[in-house]
Amino acid sequence: MKNRFLKLSILFTCLFFIKTPLIVSANGPTASEIASSMLSTGLFDTPVLQKEASTEEEIINAALMLRPSCIQIRIGNQVGSGSIIKISDESILILTAKHVVKNWENEDSHLVIFFDGLIKEGGLVDVSENRDLAVIKVETDSFLPEDLIRLRSVPLFMGSSSLEDDSIGSDDPAGENSKAAYDKLKNNSSIVFSLESEVIPDPLQNQKYNIYGNDTKIADGYVYGMLQNKDIMVTDFGYNMLYAKCSAHEGMSGGGVFDQYGNYVALLSGGSDDNEMVATSLPDIISFLETIKP
């Protein structure tokens, strides 16, 4: 009888513990803490591919990887593109084409539309005197931390990971890939690609916010083609540019041009109906950025 009572006690004890819910708590980093860590360590740069994207599927994956760095810019009715080149405590800097911002002073609306659909008001930092280049900015504190940590910057050789000072142009080992990649581009051999986005008639009314950018159509597609000449005089612009057979179209001006590893090698400046694209090359971009202190 005594043993039977003992067994019953053990059984009831087991049932009691089984029915009692197990409560486990874990304290992970907050979005604010993650954002602060990313800002202090320069973790916003998009990583480059370890293997060359040689198939269309691989180019699509490279384009998707770069999407969070891609911007749509709307100055009044003028629509263009851009790339995030630096994210710091103070501002998010965006490289675009000068002709995209040519009406800046005459327009009251200067919209910067991010890949996930967030819309911010931009400020003009500087424009190049002799190249189709400009830099605009958005204040970092206008973002919630959970929105900020989803953005990425292109891996440019211009100090995008350096936060020791406010200068744009400074040596950055993390960005040397782009400079080396540009030097390795070969005429009639290298493939380059650029991202395209759909122009929204009224972004303030119709642009949707989605953390993955699924509904925004910002950098939702891509174009790619064969590099023809990376240093050829283009009379319409008055300086030597990168020239490729690629179906760039209206609204893509100011966007990045990338090699098959995802390195930023040029800024798209123009296209033609004959499947041609011209872009301002990385050496000219670096020279311009080195003169700016926002």
pTM, two decimals, is: 0.85
How do 78-87 and 70-75 pair as beta strands? antiparallel
H/E stretch holding 56 reads helix 56-66
Q: Is residue 16 part of a domain?
A: no
Residue 294's pLDDT is: 53
Q: What is the pLDDT of residue 205?
A: 82
Would residue 17 count as lying in a domain? Answer: no
Q: Is the residue at 82 inside a domain?
A: yes
Our count of domains for the chain comes to: 1
Q: What is the pLDDT of residue 45?
A: 87
| pLDDT at residue 4 in the model | 52
The structure tokens listed for 234 are: 């283009």
Dist. CA 103–CA 134, nearest whole Å: 13
Residue 132 is assigned to a structural domain of this protein: yes
Tell me if residue 236 falls in helix, strand or coil.
Answer: coil
Element holding 36 (H helix, E strand): helix 31-41
CATH of the domain at 219: 2.40.10.120
How far CA 102 is from CA of 36, 39, 42, 99, 134, in Å, comes to 35, 31, 31, 5, 10
The series of mean pLDDT values per 10 residues for the chain, 294 residues long, is 49 46 67 91 85 88 93 94 94 96 95 95 96 97 95 70 40 64 93 90 84 85 94 96 92 95 95 91 93 71
Residue 34, in any domain of the structure: no
Residue 8 lies in a domain: no
In the DSSP assignment, the letter for residue 28 is -
Task: Give first-to-last CA distance, the chain, whole Å.
Answer: 87
Q: Does residue 148 belong to any structural domain of this protein?
A: yes
Show the domain range for 125. Answer: 44-289
**Token pair for residue 1?**
């009888």
Domain-embedded: residue 14: no
